Chains A and B, each alone.
Chain A
Amino acid sequence: MKILTKLNRINLRQNRARTIVTIIGVVLSVALILSVIGVATSFLNSLRLREIEEYGDYHIVYRDVPGNLVSVIEESKYANIQYYSDHIDYIVLEDGTKDYYVAGLFPRNSYTPITDAGMLRRDEEHLYNVFIKYRNPHDYSHSEKMLTRELRDAGMDEIETRSTLIATLDGCVPETTRILLWSLSVLAIGTLAIASAFVIRNSFNISITERERQFGMLSSIGARPRQIRGMVYREAFSIGAVAIPAGIILGVIATLIVCVIINKLDTYVLGFSMSFYIPVGGYFLITIIGAIIIFLSAASPAIVASRVSPIAALRNEKDIKIKAKKVRTSKLTQKIWGIGGVIAAKNLKRSRKKYHTTIISIALSVSVFIGVSTLISYGYKDIAFLIDDIGSNFMILGGTKELYEDIIERFNVKEYAYFYESASSSADKREPLRLVAISKDEFVRFAKKAGYRGDDYANVAILRDYYIEYHGNGSTSFKRTNYKVGDTVKLTLDDLRRIFGPQIENWNLDHNEENEEKTNSGSSKSNVKTVELEVTLITEEVPLGVSKKTSDGKGTLYISEENKILKDASGIYFMIRDFHVADSGLGEQIGKYLDKNRDRKQYKDEFGNDADYYYQNVEIVYTSIRNLLLTFEILSYGFIAIVSLIGITNIFNTITTNIALRAKEFAVLKSVGMTEKEFGRMIRLESAMYITRALLIGLSIGLLMSYGIYKLLDAGGAGIELIIPWYAIVISILAVVILVAGTMRYSMRQIRKQNIIETIRKESF
């Protein structure tokens, strides 16, 4: 037995490069699987921490429990009371003249929810909310049932319960997020485990092939099949003993890095920070998964090794099994590529099985790379659609001109725009147009951008005649109006009171009260106003804050707020619509300022009426979305990178061993006069042959995946463009060529060092 162990050790050491590469393959698989587990558990744990932070770490709350029943819960074997609180959330101080003495502040315990105010001494009269932790949360439904029954038995009728935290606890019955997260993880882990087993099995297979003679010899001197199987398993065990712990360490590091990256990039969209967490069970699980992967990888090679018949191995029957038909090549191959090409082609046919593994590894990596790249491209396109459009970094919808001006002055805003919207219709039966007024500075900028060279901005009307028509089935098309430069546009402006009712006067309008006509009754009179404007320019440009890619179903005529139509408008024809700040980095300050002031009465008085508004810090949202995308990108490219790396270990092992096993054949070729150059050419041809095959398969599957993604995203008729991931295709082709060429170079160097006659003499084929 000892001698077999020694043989193993020598064998592993002799093939150091392959042993190391195999170990790297296992380490990467284990690390990748552990980080998938780790990211999932960390995510869930972070969710739970946030839940605890926001609501407390109770599992369930019984509301309105009479004081005398609290003890029932207290004594229950199913629950641990975290605390109970009085039903009163706050106290109204009725008499302002009375003195109150603040005796102290109750510090907030880690488990106290923000929403619950105080803790009181228990007495019989009050109703209490009882916050409970189950003694055995894994069995919470049973505990809940039993506890509720106990309370009922004690005389409590209505029991309102609420569970929050329970869903994020380890080992509890899952809810949707959990199911999704776990099924995704299980899918990823399963795929990885199978792929890894496939790859590692290949390296065992290679190791067995190489030692077939040794096994035959051992078997000829009486080694039993079980002993030979044992040798292979022992080899697997030594690899696992090194690779699994290393993989776990690497996996932990990878998970930590993912947590750090996510926290660095994003807290806004996620809403909480990721904290590293892998339960002990996770490490246990990964060890078992690793062991299973290795065992599965070694099992079939071990059986193959134990079945090697002594004489077949010694005579090397492998070659005897080749049939001339199987390795037949066409005359054309010989014509085009010469004898080197013939040998390369025949060799591919001979070692078809071995090359299948390499081809599949390459194809798998390539197709996954292309698929994920496509997905990322679509993600980016979507974000770009949102981001590059408006040019606005902070916007307020609604509000008043006074509010805007206050902000502009207070924060020294350089580039901004606000808009007045009207309710317009055509007065001469031509196509209807929207009439929109722009704040004067932005209008000047916009007019210049649109190509206006004059300076009579107050009288310029710029038509954006390009608009999007929305069809009933959800699809869209781009249209143009039939107005020309110089046309006179006749529009009827509706009094906005007619649309929104008289209360609009109290809203956010900006109108000339001096010119306002009042009816006898004192309420605003509803009327319409007809205006005539000459189209000065037609443009496809848009002002700040307007999307290039969306529009109402009609063209828009832009005028300056200085236009006399606004000045003269008697009645309420224009309503301030929105405000955009292009300056970067102001959003947070403005937001804070608005938050602080929006409810202050004085502020309301100062800036007019009950004007309601809504603001959005577009910059932060977009940065956050971009970061989320970046996180997604890092994770997915990281995933691809490691999957590819595992593939690379496989490709490296297959190619180097294949070359090493054929060293003798090469030596013979050289001895009958093959030059180094011709030899290199032959090897390159052989590589080119299977690279072509692998790329054809990989690229086709990858493109099919891209098309599938497109079909899936386009299912709603959203008019998504088909993306062909050219750069991913180019990258994968280059990467594969470089990888294979590099590996070939490496193995050729090993061979070149060898003396021809010594190689020939080594053993027979």
Chain B
Amino acid sequence: MSILEVRNLSKSYGKGDNLVKAVDDVSFTVEEGDFVAIIGASGSGKSTLLHMIGGVDNPSSGEIIVDGEDITKYNSDKLAIFRREKVGIIYQFYNLIPILTVQENITLPCDLAKKEINQDYLKELIEMLGLSDRVKHLPNQLSGGQQQRVAIGRALFGQPKIILADEPTGNLDKKAGDEIVKLLEVAHAKYRQTIIIVTHDISIAQHAQRIITFEDGKIIKDERREEHEDSDEAQSH
């Protein structure tokens, strides 16, 4: 069953001679539980695509159907609720709230939705993220890798249908970056969440089951890497 369907999606900036098509008539489908990497050079439009799927940017035309509903038809309130319930977004620069502690940042979407916080799940998640001794810290007291793990925690905590990661390792060194990708893989395996990751780093994309290559706002290649799933499963068992 497809969790996401993108139909003829376009996003352009400017007018006339200055018209730039960041995303140009793109269509594809993502199955539930899939781990997809979108790769491409910087400026290829891959991040714009991700942001539109996450409901933080508006397309110029086209449809984005998540879980059977076209989110481009949503008003701002419905879109906000969509963002806190259906997707979790991880940015390159973490974008945590500086005045909230690690734990508060992680539970933020749940608090916004006024949902009861599942303490066992929270504890398990924080342990998995390796942040057990950091829960009361503020983001600025953490390293970049730790901050990104908090961002992952925030994206995972609401158990959304899709996790969207926008260059999650772009601001980190190799070691911290690898850890982040591992975490995403573990989350994918453990919670069976759909993950879409945008990156320009092919070695990171290698962790995904499917790689979509982007260039000038268009998909130029879309390949499935069957062997990855096996190794992934082997790892988690």
Interface hits, A670-723 → B, CB 8 Å = 670-678
Contact partner of B99 (CB less than 8 A), chosen from A346, A671, A675, is: A346
Contact partner of B84 (CB less than 8 A), chosen from A323, A672, A765, is: A672
* Contact A324 B136, CB 8 Å, known A319-B98, A342-B104: yes
Q: A757 at the A/B interface (Cβ < 8 Å)?
A: yes
* CB-defined contacts of A760 to chain B, threshold 8 Å: 56, 91, 95
Taking a contact as CB atoms under 8 Å apart, the answer to whether A324 and B101 are in contact is yes
Q: A343 at the A/B interface (Cβ < 8 Å)?
A: yes
Determine the distance from Cα of A99 to Cα of B71 in the docked complex, in whole angstroms. 117
Taking a contact as CB atoms under 8 Å apart, the answer to whether B112 and A674 are in contact is yes
Taking a contact as CB atoms under 8 Å apart, the answer to whether B77 and A676 are in contact is yes
Taking a contact as CB atoms under 8 Å apart, the answer to whether A327 and B80 are in contact is no
Taking a contact as CB atoms under 8 Å apart, the answer to whether A675 and B101 are in contact is no
Q: B81 at the A/B interface (Cβ < 8 Å)?
A: yes
Taking a contact as CB atoms under 8 Å apart, the answer to whether B137 and A678 are in contact is no
* CB-defined contacts of B41 to chain A, threshold 8 Å: none
* Residue interface mask A323-339, B partner, CB < 8 A = 1: 11001000000100011
Q: B128 at the A/B interface (Cβ < 8 Å)?
A: no
* CB-defined contacts of B141 to chain A, threshold 8 Å: 320, 324
Q: List, sorted by A's number, 7 A–B pairs whose CB atoms are closer than 8 Å.
A: A322-B99, A323-B138, A334-B111, A672-B112, A755-B57, A756-B56, A760-B95
* CB-defined contacts of A674 to chain B, threshold 8 Å: 80, 84, 112
Taking a contact as CB atoms under 8 Å apart, the answer to whether B99 and A350 are in contact is yes
* Contact A322 B138, CB 8 Å, known A338-B114, A672-B112, A673-B109: yes
Determine the distance from Cα of A520 to Cα of B154 in the docked complex, in whole angstroms. 121
Which chain A residue has the least Cβ–Cβ distance from B99?
A346
Contact partner of B109 (CB less than 8 A), chosen from A327, A334, A338, A672, is: A672
Contact partner of A665 (CB less than 8 A), chosen from B51, B98, B113, B138, is: B98
Name A's B-contacting residues (CB within 8 A). 319-320, 322-324, 327, 334, 338-339, 342-343, 346-347, 349-350, 664-665, 668-678, 755-757, 760, 764-765
Taking a contact as CB atoms under 8 Å apart, the answer to whether B99 and A347 are in contact is yes
Q: B7 at the A/B interface (Cβ < 8 Å)?
A: no
Interface residues of chain A: helix, strand, loop or mixed (majority) = helix
* CB-defined contacts of B56 to chain A, threshold 8 Å: 670-671, 756-757, 760
Determine the distance from Cα of A322 to Cα of B80 in the docked complex, in whole angstroms. 29
What would 16 more interface pairs be, CB under 8 Å, given A347-B99, A668-B95, A673-B112? A322-B99, A324-B136, A324-B138, A327-B138, A339-B111, A343-B97, A346-B99, A346-B100, A665-B97, A665-B98, A668-B96, A670-B83, A673-B83, A675-B77, A676-B77, A757-B57
* Contact A322 B76, CB 8 Å, known A339-B111, A339-B112: no
Determine the distance from Cα of A675 to Cα of B82 in the docked complex, in whole angstroms. 10
- Report the minimum CB–CB distance from A115 to chain B (whole Å): 79
* Contact A672 B114, CB 8 Å, known A322-B98, A322-B99, A322-B138: no
* CB-defined contacts of B80 to chain A, threshold 8 Å: 670, 673-676, 678
* Contact A338 B111, CB 8 Å, known A327-B99, A350-B99, A673-B85: yes
Contact partner of B100 (CB less than 8 A), chosen from A343, A349, A673, A676, is: A343
* CB-defined contacts of B136 to chain A, threshold 8 Å: 324
* CB-defined contacts of B77 to chain A, threshold 8 Å: 675-677
- Report the minimum CB–CB distance from A277 to chain B (whole Å): 56
* Contact A765 B98, CB 8 Å, known A339-B112, A673-B112, A676-B77: yes
Determine the distance from Cα of A349 to Cα of B138 in the docked complex, in whole angstroms. 14
- Of B96, B137, B140, chain A has the most CB atoms within 10 Å of the CB of B140
* CB-defined contacts of A764 to chain B, threshold 8 Å: 93
Q: B36 at the A/B interface (Cβ < 8 Å)?
A: no
Taking a contact as CB atoms under 8 Å apart, the answer to whether B99 and A343 are in contact is yes
Taking a contact as CB atoms under 8 Å apart, the answer to whether B99 and A673 are in contact is no
* Count of A-B contacts judged by CB separation below 8 Å: 94
- Report the minimum CB–CB distance from A329 to chain B (whole Å): 10
* CB-defined contacts of B112 to chain A, threshold 8 Å: 339, 669, 672-674, 678
Q: B145 at the A/B interface (Cβ < 8 Å)?
A: no
9 A-B pairs with least C-beta separation: A673-B84, A339-B111, A675-B80, A673-B83, A346-B99, A756-B56, A319-B98, A320-B140, A757-B57
Contact partner of B51 (CB less than 8 A), chosen from A327, A673, A757, is: A757
- Report the minimum CB–CB distance from A94 to chain B (whole Å): 102
Taking a contact as CB atoms under 8 Å apart, the answer to whether A671 and B140 are in contact is no
* CB-defined contacts of B111 to chain A, threshold 8 Å: 334, 338-339, 342
Which chain A residue has the least Cβ–Cβ distance from B171?
A764
* CB-defined contacts of A664 to chain B, threshold 8 Å: 95
- Report the minimum CB–CB distance from B3 to chain A (whole Å): 18
Determine the distance from Cα of A668 to Cα of B51 in the docked complex, in whole angstroms. 13
Taking a contact as CB atoms under 8 Å apart, the answer to whether A319 and B140 are in contact is yes
Q: B108 at the A/B interface (Cβ < 8 Å)?
A: yes
* CB-defined contacts of A676 to chain B, threshold 8 Å: 76-77, 80
Q: B219 at the A/B interface (Cβ < 8 Å)?
A: no
* CB-defined contacts of B89 to chain A, threshold 8 Å: 671-672
Q: B45 at the A/B interface (Cβ < 8 Å)?
A: no
* Residue interface mask B116-133, A partner, CB < 8 A = 1: 000000000000000000
Determine the distance from Cα of A757 to Cα of B95 in the docked complex, in whole angstroms. 11
* CB-defined contacts of A346 to chain B, threshold 8 Å: 99-100
* CB-defined contacts of B82 to chain A, threshold 8 Å: 673
Q: B54 at the A/B interface (Cβ < 8 Å)?
A: yes
* CB-defined contacts of B139 to chain A, threshold 8 Å: 319
- Report the minimum CB–CB distance from A748 to chain B (whole Å): 13
* CB-defined contacts of B140 to chain A, threshold 8 Å: 319-320, 322
Taking a contact as CB atoms under 8 Å apart, the answer to whether B99 and A672 are in contact is no
- Of A346, A674, A755, A757, chain B has the most CB atoms within 10 Å of the CB of A757
